[in-house]
Chains A and B, each alone.
Chain A
């Protein structure tokens, strides 16, 4: 039978595979879904703006009433910057996850797993506790600016330490990197625990809220931090895509195939820490986006990184805009921390992947 199939395949013309056909639709489709999600998100919130009033509020039609002025204030000073930030944070987290999985050749790898997020969280919690008690009211105002900077610095420092531990004479050991990450996560969590212990009630609430992740309080300033990182990141994604594909063969065989493996690893590690660090600094710790999005995409469009990385950015953006809209509305006028939502959906998917992998391994 196999012989018959073989001769049949030989005689057919080259045609794009089913996966490649679905892949060619992926990017335009995801852009369209993101646009719809953003419009819906604009309309929902503590102060609702019906879809019929959206064009006027966005300045697309000439009408101008007192209602329009209120709508415009809500939209441009609160909702648009927030939705833009949610989209960019989701895109950064999903892309960082996809890159790290390619680097580790493991669909369960995630920046949160190697302590990059925890390092940022520890630095942010330190900022909350120490700026408050050491400098008192005089420096309170700095906290808004200090918090993202501290988280970013913490993520970068964690990555630098990780890289220092796992890199010897120009070679980076992925296994050491992963295990060192587990240890650093534990150290960072111990530090956070200590801070929680010494924090007063109000600080504790700040820390907790930030650790759970939230998009509230996002301003245009924060968007201005996110946008360049995302744009540079997307450019770098195109640059490393083929290398990450070949890395699936293992480091030696990627090298045999012409990849400068050490350079690829250095660029990927810096990208992952910058993307995660900036995202964490804006939104706090939001887990599982980096694992769930790339995994689901691989099932549909395949694992090739040239498509997977940009598709991850778009899908991560859609997921986060949707999750943030839910977070803003289900307990309105209060807000649900967004990290609770992503963990509630993400953790079961993580377990599902784990079980499927075990199934494969036992075959």
Chain B
């Protein structure tokens, strides 16, 4: 499978602070990658560099075999879609209007069926005419996810497998919608999209991704299949907590921080 995005030696500084220091990352079509790491590790900075929103001080990002800075914003939007963490909409746009924003210049009629499908997928079809600012934080997040899915779908129809970037997409979602979102992302990966997500919940990250990338202090601390990355040693070094890694019944590992394990009744 070919690389959808390829980053080499990315460094980003803000004033004297080094936010990111020599990070490289390559993600192929159909691959799901979770970025984990403590606060201030440079996760969001890395994602913004990969989205083309920020320019690195050193290093380069290639999206679909072309330098990312050579795309116009519109060309870029047809090849990568990104869901940000906090989006505060002040004007009374309806859910449907927000989702339609993912369709670019296309009219409501041309984009209608994709907008419907995306609203169904995030479970907001019954809220389509509600004004976005009147919805809860989690519902707003799902509406924006639907918008991003519409943008991705139109882009992929024209240019083939694209890149989907998710910055803590589950932070304001309840448990059921966290799983729904992860499964929606998985379906995209199954059809060729390269997916990169920042996640704080280690267990969700393990379930979500084929591959985990660990950032710490602006540097790449680990990058590999979950079995290699999710170890007691790495968790202790990176997050400074003691945790036990169990094997689940389905062979997928899960992480239990020590202090919490004490509260679980013995079997």
Contact = CB atoms under 8 A, between A and B. Distances in A.
Contact of B128 (A9, A253, A259): A9
B239 interface: no
Nearest to B109: A14
A261 B84 contact: no
A304 B101 CA distance: 10
Contacts of B102: 257
Interface in B72-108: 72-74, 76-78, 80-82, 84, 87-94, 96-97, 101-102, 104-105, 108
Contact of B90 (A8, A245, A248, A299): A248
A336 B38 CA distance: 65
Nearest to A244: B91
Interface residues of A, dominant DSSP: helix
A258 B94 contact: no
A225 B94 CA distance: 39
Contact of A260 (B73, B90, B92): B73
A6 B123 contact: yes
B105 to A, nearest CB: 7
Interface residues of B, number: 41
A95 B7 CA distance: 44
B91 A256 contact: no
A250 B87 contact: yes
Contacts of B87: 249-250, 253
A303 B93 contact: yes
Nearest to B82: A256
Contact of A17 (B72, B81, B96, B112): B96
Contacts of A245: 93, 97, 101
Contacts, number: 90
- Interface size of A as a range: 35 or more
A248 B77 contact: no
Interface centre among A8, A20, A257 (most CB of B within 10 A): A257
Interface of B: 48, 51-53, 72-74, 76-78, 80-82, 84, 87-94, 96-97, 101-102, 104-105, 108, 112, 116, 120, 123, 125-126, 128-129, 133, 144, 147, 151
26 contacts: A2-B126, A6-B123, A10-B125, A14-B112, A14-B116, A17-B94, A248-B89, A248-B91, A249-B101, A250-B87, A255-B73, A256-B53, A256-B77, A256-B80, A256-B84, A257-B77, A257-B104, A258-B73, A258-B74, A258-B76, A258-B78, A259-B73, A302-B97, A303-B91, A303-B92, A360-B133
Given A255-B53, A302-B97, 15 more contacts: A9-B126, A14-B116, A17-B128, A18-B129, A105-B90, A105-B91, A245-B97, A245-B101, A252-B53, A256-B51, A257-B104, A258-B76, A259-B74, A260-B73, A298-B92
